Structure 1
Amino acid sequence: MCRWAAYSGADVFLEDIISIPAHSLIAQSQKAAECKTATNGDGFGIAWYGQRPEPGLYRDVYPAWSDCNLRALVRQVKSGLFLAHVRASTGSATSRNNCHPFTAGRWSFMHNGQVGGFEKFRRHADMCIPDELYEHRKGATDSEVLFLLALQQGLDADPKTALERAVARMEALSRARGATPHMRLSVAMSDGERLYAARYSSDSVAPSVYYRWSSSMGGWAVVSEPLEQTGEAWNELKPGAFLTLTGDGAEIEPFQPFLE
């Protein structure tokens, strides 16, 4: 299982989330506390928004804790909206194209979890991606397919419904051709204006998600694991919930994947 963290609010240095906190994302890449594997060393990535509509993207296959370029980058770059991810592969190769976040146009997307038995139906999943989006299929992960299916289902118009439909389609493929657990998911994604997160599972084990407002940074953080235990309290996002974070606050809605 992977670990991820995202932020939306006033401009901060990326290191304020990724490397400085006691249980920062880099710390979690070596010693995560709330997942099966404590080590998440199969690559990392950052998508951040600045002066252009589309995000910048930096990904590599090195463990996050050992990459000096990552620490130098996050120390210098400021952003008011960014996503960061450290990867523990569930089967696909360790390659830059398989590292999260994934981007297409103004959207960025990252995922922790699994679609059960994906390798048994990867070709069928790829065939669900429409021609106009297939150019964005760079890697071999279930997460990238999920992202592209959400774009197909109307991510621009209705992010929650689009993600629900995409998750339902992948879960249906897993039930027909894959293996249990059919779907375990925590997702963070952004269009450059809002930050969204979701937590869901087809069984009783949903990957952890927490969020809080930080008065010191002036923004929202949403994470796989709390970055520290001091300051404002962390709120747990319950399984089956969809979170929207904006300057106006946090909105939580039911997340109920369905097939039309």
Structure 2
Amino acid sequence: MCRWLAYSGTPIRLDELLYQPRFSLIDQSMHSRYGVETTNGDGVGVGWYPADSPAEPALFRGVGPAWNDANLREIARSTTSPLFLAHIRASTGTAVQQTNCHPFRHESWLWVHNGSIREFAKLRRDLLLAVDPALFPTIEGSTDSEVMFHLALTFGLRDRPVAAVERMAGLIEAVARTHGVPAPLQMTIGTTDGDRVWGFRYSSEGHSRSLYYSTETAALQRLYPDNPQLHRLSEETRLVVSEPLGELPGAWQPVPESSYGVIQKGADELGHFEPAAP
């Protein structure tokens, strides 16, 4: 499958999460501890919102393995952002090409996915026909992840993100039933509009891929008063990750099965996720 992270909070350099932690995202591209595959070498990408232009996310995507991408290393050590999504890819059958690498971008939105649609080739035509005709020309690659993004956009991601993703999941399961495909959907998803970040964990079989969120910064600062890295972060700082970036006790909380979360100014949200039948 894949690994991804979403960061929101005090502006930091990208390499502080992509490279520096003991179990950084780049380390996970070679040695994933929680993934289906231990190696995720079929592409890498990062999308970030510059502090001076938060409505226009920048995007880097490469087809090589993350651990060997010199351009990514240069960007990561010289780019600072208050909000970014990063992804390392393990293909589930579609081509290794730039247009199939995450994050996917549409206007101010970014989207990353870990998981798959079972027997996607069998379901692909019906799912594509459900995409808004105005959005269809912006599909550039051949992955199930990008189709999921465009279905969510079709169902109102920009106005009601949780309901849109629930409708997307419900449509996939309904189409799969007509084709006799059992337990079709496996997903953890991260998406953002540059202001808030949404994370989703769901699978048709009820045994979803791993997903974690960071403990509130204020609580960690009280727990570790002598940790200088924690004390330079704002109380609004939060991370969502496929697997923890370190082993600091109390720093990571598992996202419950069939759940969604929202990182936003003020109180964050955690709620139940339920696919909506079309």
Instruction: Give me the TM-score of the superposition, normalised by structure 2.
Output: 0.90
1:224 aligns with 2:242: yes
Residue 226 of structure 2: aligned partner: none
- Contact between 2:206 and 2:258, CA under 8 Å: does it hold in 1? no
Whose radius of gyration is greater, 1 or 2?
2
1:34-45 to 2 correspondences below 5 Å: 34-45=34-45
1:75-224 to 2 correspondences below 5 Å: 75-177=77-179, 179-212=181-214, 213-214=216-217, 216=230, 217-218=233-234, 219-224=237-242
Matches of 1:54 and 1:102, distance apart in 2: 13
Which amino acid counterpart does residue 32 of structure 2 have in structure 1? A
Determine which of 246, 260, 268 is the counterpart of 1:242: 260
- Farther-moved stretch of structure 1 (10-19 vs 212-221): 212-221
Residue 15 of structure 2: aligned partner: 15
Residue 4 of structure 1: aligned partner: 4
Which amino acid counterpart does residue 190 of structure 1 have in structure 2? T
Equivalent position SS for 1:187: strand
Equivalent position SS for 1:131: coil
Matches of 2:161 and 2:37, distance apart in 1: 30
Question: Shift of the alpha carbon at 1:179?
Answer: 3.2
Question: Shift of the alpha carbon at 1:178?
Answer: 6.0
Question: Shift of the alpha carbon at 1:60?
Answer: 0.8
Matches of 1:32 and 1:205, distance apart in 2: 18
Count of aligned residue pairs for this structure pair: 260
Matches of 1:24 and 1:6, distance apart in 2: 13
Question: Shift of the alpha carbon at 1:129?
Answer: 1.1
Question: Shift of the alpha carbon at 1:31?
Answer: 0.6
Equivalent position SS for 2:268: strand
Residue 259 of structure 1: aligned partner: 277
Matches of 2:181 and 2:118, distance apart in 1: 5
Question: Shift of the alpha carbon at 1:124?
Answer: 1.8
Percent of matched pairs sharing the same residue = 40
Determine which of 37, 49, 67 is the counterpart of 1:65: 67
Question: Shift of the alpha carbon at 1:121?
Answer: 2.1
- Contact between 1:118 and 1:174, CA under 8 Å: does it hold in 2? no
Residue 58 of structure 2: aligned partner: 56
Matches of 1:159 and 1:178, distance apart in 2: 29
1:26 aligns with 2:26: yes
Matches of 2:208 and 2:90, distance apart in 1: 16
Matches of 2:66 and 2:74, distance apart in 1: 12
- Farther-moved stretch of structure 1 (169-178 vs 45-54): 169-178
Matches of 2:125 and 2:168, distance apart in 1: 16
Which amino acid counterpart does residue 44 of structure 2 have in structure 1? F
- Contact between 1:85 and 1:100, CA under 8 Å: does it hold in 2? yes
Cα RMSD between the aligned structures? 1.3
- Contact between 2:200 and 2:261, CA under 8 Å: does it hold in 1? yes
Matches of 2:177 and 2:117, distance apart in 1: 10
- Contact between 1:196 and 1:243, CA under 8 Å: does it hold in 2? yes
Instruction: Give me the TM-score of the superposition, normalised by structure 1.
Output: 0.96
Task: Deviation per CA, 1:23-47: give whole Å up to 9, x if none.
Answer: 0000000010111110000001111
- Contact between 2:2 and 2:88, CA under 8 Å: does it hold in 1? yes
Question: Shift of the alpha carbon at 1:232?
Answer: 4.7
Runs (4+) of structure 1 moved beyond 2 Å?
174-181
Which amino acid counterpart does residue 143 of structure 2 have in structure 1? T
The answer for unaligned runs of 5 or more in structure 1 is none
The answer for unaligned runs of 5 or more in structure 2 is 222-229
